[in-house]
Amino acid sequence: MEINQRIKGIIDYYQLEQQEFAEKIGVSESTISVTVRNIKPVGAKVVFNILREFPDVSCEWLIRGDGEMLLRKSESKQLKEPQSTITQTQYQDLLQRLEKLSNDFDDFRNE
């Protein structure tokens, strides 16, 4: 299953319209539409925002397709209770790393 199909699975699981989902993760409805239809590659911002807004969704599953869509309750609870806050610099670093992973994934998919 491709990442666009996994994103569609999240939308379906939470019984959301694409517009509602887009609003929750802070992107346009057209971004979600082209993502779900696999017209454009999924950007790091979309992945990062999905994981932020839906903490029960497994990062491994979303990015790589490994494991189950939802984390076990204990894993999910740990994610909801952050140990500390991050700085803007750390946030930007995480976005850059996620973007690199996304690009690596796209390169791998296009081989």
pLDDT per residue as tens digits for the range 12-70: 999 999 999 999 999 999 999 999 999 999 999 999 999 999 999 999 999 999 999 99
Q: Hey, what domains does the chain have and what are their CATH numbers? A: 3-110 (1.10.260.40)
- pLDDT for position 15: 97
pTM of the model: 0.67
**Helix, strand, coil fractions of the chain, as percent rounded to 5:** 65, 0, 30
DSSP state of 40: S
Q: What is the dihedral of CA 104, 43, 11, 13, to 10 degrees?
A: 30
